[in-house]
A = this chain, B = another copy of it.
Amino acid sequence: MANEKRIFWYSLLLLASVALNLFFITNQYYLGTELKSQKLSWSLKAAEEAEAVASISCSGHGRAFLDGLIVDGKPICECNTCYGGSDCSLFSPDCSADANSGDPLFLEPFWMEHAASSAVLISGWHRMSYTFYDKSFISQQLENHVRRVHEVAKNAVTKGKYVLFGVGSTQLLAAAVYALSMNLSSPASVVASSPYYPLYKFQTNYFENKRFKFDEDTSLSSNSSYNTEANVIEFVTSPNNPDGNLKEAVSQGPLVRVIYDHAYYWPHFSAIPSPANEDVMIFTMSKLTGHAGSRIGWALIKDEQVYEDMNTYISVSEMGISREAQLRALQLMKAILDGNGTDIFDYAYKKMSYRWKKLSEIVSLSSRFSIQEIPPLFCNFFEKVRGPSPAYAWVKCEREEDTNCNEVLRAGNIIGREGSLFSDEDRYVRLSLLKSDDDFNLLMDHLSKLVAEENGAKTAWIF
């Protein structure tokens, strides 16, 4: 009997043990399959390194980069302005709000949220050649994707246009001036109506030769057009940098050629009344995806000869543009086009219009400062009338004595860009609204204080 009991218990134990074995076998099979599916070989190290760097905590006020300075074996946190400490957790409240540059970091969180679709791994042997298989300097895939992004954004007609890529729109501006001044009977005057983006003048002056010269005619204003018989190349930024308003050429005549800088002509920053369809239009990835550091821009060009001449500029000055930047731009375009392709526009418009609203609320309490008016317009992309969401505030100091508005703001711990740089009065200052959330919040804090002081001072003066 005792033996039979033992046999019973042994049988039970054996059954349990075999069942456990079966469980392990099944489990191991699934683990093995999963492991196999993730079995990367040569790419694993690069992927692990990228994730390790991304996982370094910088308190939401900075980030570490793969090519950052190494301390204690890993890249250090690079903190946003006014944040410090090894994990960017130390805030300096008295630090100046830097609203100077047009660094489009407002889109950084968007890309962190789209990490998987926007990452790209470059092998050591990726595209070592000078040219692509079609002997061009440019990825045909990239061109196709850029055309599709324009279709989604409804901001430009690409059909019947040549697409030329450059090292940022900056390079394409010069390429356009060189191309449009070929074979002229007399040198071209390069012009822009004030206020205008200062690089046009700097760059044209720097490259000045017997074919073109910048004409610093301060009487050229956006409000009035003028007729000319001369060779003129006019830069038109639309929406304008600094003031965000849509802009047209002011020069009119048989020999006038216009370079439309449409860097900001995206639903992010402006209503899109209709797809732009000019002869020479320039766009940049910097203001579409926020990747200023990639230096990728493109021109849409109607005329074949102008396209060829601009292409010559790129070939002669540097034999095409980086394959790494092109591959990443392609990946970003793919990520944008995921789903119905409108996510980035919704995100960017929401953020920029929120910022404009915040700023407007503060400025509305002030009589010392005003900002530009941007009328609501019907937008082809959103299919409705929409309000402003410009990249910059064009601030005016209203008091007669405040002739240097930048100094007034500096005294309030705000760094802007002075109006004279845009060939306008120093009564104006450009404040950038497209930097990081930290930058924007600090700007709003300092501006609120400045306006509060103004009202406090006024109150003190009244009583």
Contacts and interface: CB of A to CB of B under 8 A. Distances in A.
Given A17-B14, A105-B129, A171-B318, A121 B290 contact: no
Given A44-B38, A47-B40, A324 B321 contact: no
Nearest to A199: B316
Nearest to A9: B10
Given A17-B21, A38-B44, A67-B142, A168 B328 contact: no
Interface string A106-121: 0110011011111111
A13 to B, nearest CB: 6
A368 to B, nearest CB: 31
B318 A170 contact: yes
A353 to B, nearest CB: 21
Contacts of A10: 7, 10-11, 14
A39 B39 CA distance: 10
Contact of A3 (B4, B128, B208, B318): B4
Q: How many copies does the complex hold?
A: 2
A171 B317 contact: yes
Contacts of A24: 21, 24-25, 28
A340 interface: no
B206 A207 contact: no
User: Which of A21, A24, A47 is packed against the most chain B CB atoms within 10 Å?
Assistant: A47
Interface in A395-415: none
A285 B291 CA distance: 24
Contacts of A293: 127-130, 320, 322-323
A365 interface: no
Contacts of A208: 209
Given A3-B3, A130-B292, A124 B335 contact: yes
Nearest to A209: B209
A243 interface: no
A303 B207 CA distance: 23
B330 A67 contact: yes
Nearest to A46: B119
A96 B5 CA distance: 89
Interface of A: 3-4, 6-7, 10-11, 13-14, 17-18, 20-21, 24-25, 27-28, 31-32, 34-35, 38-51, 54, 63, 65-70, 78, 101-105, 107-108, 111-112, 114-131, 133, 139-142, 166-168, 170-171, 174, 199, 202-203, 206-210, 286, 290-296, 312-313, 316-328, 330-332, 335
The 3 closest A-B pairs by CB, nearest first: A118-B124, A24-B24, A42-B115
26 contacts: A3-B7, A10-B10, A24-B25, A27-B28, A43-B50, A45-B117, A46-B119, A47-B47, A50-B123, A65-B126, A67-B142, A68-B141, A78-B133, A102-B130, A103-B128, A108-B128, A111-B125, A119-B122, A128-B291, A129-B292, A170-B317, A203-B316, A203-B317, A209-B210, A323-B325, A324-B324
